[in-house]
Amino acid sequence: MAWSRKPRPLSDRFWEKVEVRGADECWPWQGARGRHGYGNIGDGKGNTLRAHRLSYHLHHGTIPDGLIVGHHCDHPWCVNPAHLFAASQGVNMQDMSQKGRSTFGARSASAKLSDASVVAIRMSTQPQIGLARQFGVSPMTISLAKRRATWTHLP
């Protein structure tokens, strides 16, 4: 006779991995975390769920289609339902920008140009293809910088 273990409820497994603190404090996720710091938990069916999304679902109900779950506290590992909100990605990006957490220009990890390089590109009369070769980027990157579609923080 094969033993089959009854799966434990997801909510029970969730709470085992939460350090519950005061109502206004962050509640750190103590389980596995992904590379960006968000908590992960298996759903028992082979899928991985984000802990903050599960917390939102357990406390506030279903996350509406097309919305993400953001953090008022800006800590991806926090699962305190009072710190979570459902919003569009655009609203989440505005929240991030208003709090000064957005990275742009040379501070961005993906930046291939410096602020000084962009200023030089904008002042140059050299063809974009030549500038692209000179700075090691694509002609489209040069075009976007020249048209001020990117690096908008620079004069």
10-28 per-position pLDDT tens digit = 999 999 999 999 999 999 9
Residue 80 neighbours by CB distance under 10 Å: 23
Looking at the DSSP bridge assignments, the partners of residue 49 are: 41
Residues in CB range of 62: below 8 A, 6 or more apart: none
Q: What pTM does this model have?
A: 0.65
Range(s) of the domain holding residue 89: 10-98
State whether 30 and 93 are in the same domain. yes
Does residue 70 lie within any of the structural domains?
A: yes
Question: Do residues 79 and 97 touch, judged by C-beta distance below 8 A?
Answer: no
Domains of the chain: total: 2
In a domain, residue 85? The reply is: yes
**Which has more confidence, 103 or 25?**
25
Among residues 118, 136, 139, the alpha carbon closest in space to that of 128 is found at: 139
> Does 23 share its domain with 90?
yes
Q: Strands, E, within 24-117: which ranges?
A: 40-42, 48-50, 68-71, 84-87
Do 116 and 76 belong to one domain? no
Lowest mean pLDDT among 4-8, 24-28, 106-110: 106-110
Residues 88 and 14 in one domain: yes
Instruction: Kindly state whether residue 29 falls inside one of the protein's structural domains.
Output: yes
Number of helices (H) and strands (E) in the chain: give both, helices first. 6, 4
Indicate if 18 and 45 belong to the same structural domain.
yes
